[in-house]
Amino acid sequence: MNIFMQFIKSIYSPKDIALFRFQGIGKTILYVFFLTLISVLPSIIYLSTALSTGIDSARSIIKDEFPAFSINNGQLSAQTKVPVTINKEDFTVILDPTGTIEAADVEEEGNAFALLKDEFVFSSAGQSESYQYTMLKKMTKDDLLNFIDTIRGLKGIIIPVLSVFMYLFSSAASFIEVSILALIGLALKNLAGRKLTYRHLWRMAAYSETLPTLFFTVMAAIKTTVPNSFFINWFVAIIVLFLAINEIPKPKKAN
């Protein structure tokens, strides 16, 4: 059975998940990489879109609508006494030399770029990264515009590199999650009275992740936040694994 058929079967058939315990470990590892790729696709697409549109929007706003500003000795100063917030094409750009706005506030804006009192913050798809100005010696409005032009010219390199980094990080997290789920499976197989080894449970755990992964991928694609997503993910995966374990015949009792 090819990997795509396994993906479809794993969505609804605990019996097939139970049968996958006999396949080679290499194919199961490949499936985990495949499942991870599916899960990160929405994030990669949103990151690419946000970076492309964000760079253009940020440059336009900084050039035409921001007052003159400079960063010196790790602090932002500008010709304004209040924070400046401008929304354009589903992207927000913030200038705040007053210290009123914090990084958490920027993250709530969704896709945003912010120059705060002592740090730069970039937010995309609910994730934010912040960098202290201490790494800069000095920067003016014109310097920042030149820097943005440089970044815009390197988009073809930056986006693939960030995408690969995101995929590798997510893959590592997926293998850890499968390994932990297989450990939980050791308790579940005792509860169900089945005879299974950890290697069998690891293979079954990998395929048990299919349903919750597909669900949260769809939710991410339509930009819908799921409350208590961490617990829901683990609950569904554990239930699917338990159902798969129950599909395995009980060992016959000796007379």
Instruction: Answer whether residue 61 shows pLDDT above 90.
Output: no
The whole-number pLDDT of residue 92 equals 84
Are residues 117 and 203 part of one domain?
no
Contacts of 159 (CB under 8 A, 6+ apart): 47, 48, 51, 52
Are residues 242 and 172 part of one domain?
yes
Q: Mean pLDDT check: name the lowest of 194-198, 222-226, 231-235.
A: 222-226
95, 123, 153 - which closes a domain: 153
| DSSP structure class, residue 96 | -
Q: Please check whether residue 254 lies inside any domain of the structure.
A: no
User: In the structure, what pLDDT confidence band is assigned to residue 105 with cuts at 50, 70 and 90?
Assistant: confident
Are residues 182 and 225 part of one domain?
yes
Q: Please check whether residue 206 lies inside any domain of the structure.
A: yes
* % the chain with pLDDT above 70: 96
Instruction: Answer whether residue 32 shows pLDDT above 60.
Output: yes
Alpha-carbon distance of 255 to 253, in angstroms, equals: 6
106, 134, 153 - which closes a domain: 153
The whole-number pLDDT of residue 209 equals 96
Alpha-carbon distance of 35 to 11, in angstroms, equals: 12
Instruction: Answer whether residue 177 shows pLDDT above 80.
Output: yes
Are residues 70 and 127 part of one domain?
yes
Are residues 101 and 35 part of one domain?
no
What's the predicted TM-score (pTM) here? 0.76
Are residues 142 and 167 part of one domain?
no
121, 153, 185 - which closes a domain: 153
Containing domain of residue 172, as a range? 3-44+160-246
Alpha-carbon distance of 78 to 187, in angstroms, equals: 61
